[in-house]
Amino acid sequence: MNLADQVLAVNNDLPIRTDKPVHSGKVRSVYWLTQEDSQRLIQEKGYDVASNAPLAIMVISDRISAFDCIWHAEGNLNGVPGKGAALNAISNHWFKLFKENGLADSHILDIPHPFVWIVQKAKPIKIEAICRQYLTGSMWRAYENGEREFCGIQLPDNLGKDKPLPSLLMTPSTKGILKGVPGVPEADDVNISRKNIENSFDAFNFSAIKDIDLYEKYLKQGFDLISQSLENIDQIFVDTKFEFGYVSDAQGNEKLIYMDEVGTPDSSRIWDKTEYLNGNIVENSKEGFRQFLLNYFPEPDILLNKNRMEEREALARDNALPIESLMALSNTYVGIAEKITGQTISLSQNPKQEIIDILAKEYGLID
């Protein structure tokens, strides 16, 4: 079996019945189901959602995005073997744990295949909710350059690189470009303060100002639960990103839920605890691949400088990376997923065909 065949690199061309354009992100593609199919599945499967809730099929891929670009390797390898299945398995594990511990629900209603979620439409909160337990990455770079205020929070002097922060920090940033919000630049990924959110809560899609407290509570609860669980397998939860949104349940009650993926090596930094205590940083996340790219190319500024995006895209498009770099990342993703879930992650022989077969036979969604 050719390794490239086991990778799902293109995930926006499945013959899933839809009457809307397929939305394809960096890693996932979203197929909105027709109203008829949504209503039929809600009835057939007994999903706890409003009977007229729009549903979607979300298909993950094995594509690898870093520094806002998609990368590929020699041998026509356009993704990381096992990555999609590993990310979904980790998210599914955390969402199940959240439910068992009485935390908020997620937008996932069903998991037909390791690459696939059936989700309900949510009204997204326009915030990348970032939680940090250690001073590292971009925050360290800014701190080293003399910055002391992050998202309205003042940090003391004399903090060390890769060392614990004085307390768990919530450092939100904008998700997408928000226009006309006082004090918030019209750009994606801009750091914002709690005060910014309070002053314009409706612009960030909060239904009520009191829900800001709720989002912070869910953020902290989710972080703490994952952090404690990782501690049990000798891993450190360094920082992560959560996303939230609103949905209505079968009774029509609006509730705030977790969206997208949680606690994965794509959305988090996870360090090996034993190595950390010995003074070494061993990344069980995508961060190791980012470091590889910064060392691999002679001019790392292209990857770090937002003003050189065209050059960066050309770099990703025109350079097939050594196959070992994506296989090392595959080992990282699959290894940490198996540690977290206690289950083996198997590579599909032909993931696309498997998805089509299941969605046709068990869900009646393939034309």
Which pLDDT tens digit goes with each residue over 282-304?
Answer: 999 998 999 999 999 999 999 99
- Do residues 20 and 53 share a domain? yes
Within a domain: 304: no
Structure tokens at 252: 């029509």
Within a domain: 199: yes
pLDDT value at residue 136? 95
Domain C-terminal end among 188, 204, 220: 204
Q: Say if residue 358's pLDDT is above 60.
A: yes
Query: How confident is the model over 27-36, as pLDDT tens digits?
Result: 999 999 999 9
In sequence order, the β-bridge partners of residue 16 are: 366
Structure tokens at 168: 């768990």
Which helix (H) or strand (E) element contains residue 113? strand 108-113
We report the CATH number of the domain holding residue 173 as: 3.30.470.20
- Do residues 108 and 133 share a domain? no
pLDDT value at residue 191? 93
Domain region containing 135: 126-204
Cβ-in-10-Å burial (0-12, 13-18, 19+) of 363 comes to: buried
Query: How confident is the model over 89-138, as pLDDT tens digits?
Result: 999 999 999 999 999 999 999 999 999 999 999 999 999 999 999 999 88
**Shortest CA distance to 49 belongs to which of 93, 126, 106?**
106
Within a domain: 314: no
- Do residues 171 and 156 share a domain? yes
364/36 Cα distance (integer angstroms): 12
- Do residues 10 and 82 share a domain? yes
Contact 103, 218 (CB under 8 A): yes
Tell me the pairing of strands 69-73 and 23-24. Answer: unpaired
140: amino acid identity, one letter: W
Which helix (H) or strand (E) element contains residue 280? none
pLDDT value at residue 347? 86
Within a domain: 261: no
Contact 219, 243 (CB under 8 A): no
Q: Using 50, 70 and 90 to split pLDDT, how confident is the model at 66?
A: very high
Query: How confident is the model over 217-228, as pLDDT tens digits?
Result: 999 999 999 999
- Do residues 14 and 99 share a domain? yes
75/78 Cα distance (integer angstroms): 9
Within a domain: 270: no
Q: Say if residue 1's pLDDT is above 70.
A: no
Within a domain: 175: yes
Maximum alpha-carbon separation in the chain: 62
345/60 Cα distance (integer angstroms): 15
- Do residues 130 and 114 share a domain? no
Q: Using 50, 70 and 90 to split pLDDT, how confident is the model at 173?
A: very high
Number of domains in the chain: 2
- Do residues 103 and 183 share a domain? no
- Do residues 61 and 166 share a domain? no
Cβ-in-10-Å burial (0-12, 13-18, 19+) of 28 comes to: buried
Which helix (H) or strand (E) element contains residue 162? none
Angle among Cα 228, 206, 101 to the nearest 5 degrees reads 25
Q: Say if residue 363's pLDDT is above 60.
A: yes
Secondary structure letter of residue 126 according to DSSP: S
- Do residues 173 and 105 share a domain? no
Within a domain: 185: yes
Angle among Cα 261, 355, 85 to the nearest 5 degrees reads 35
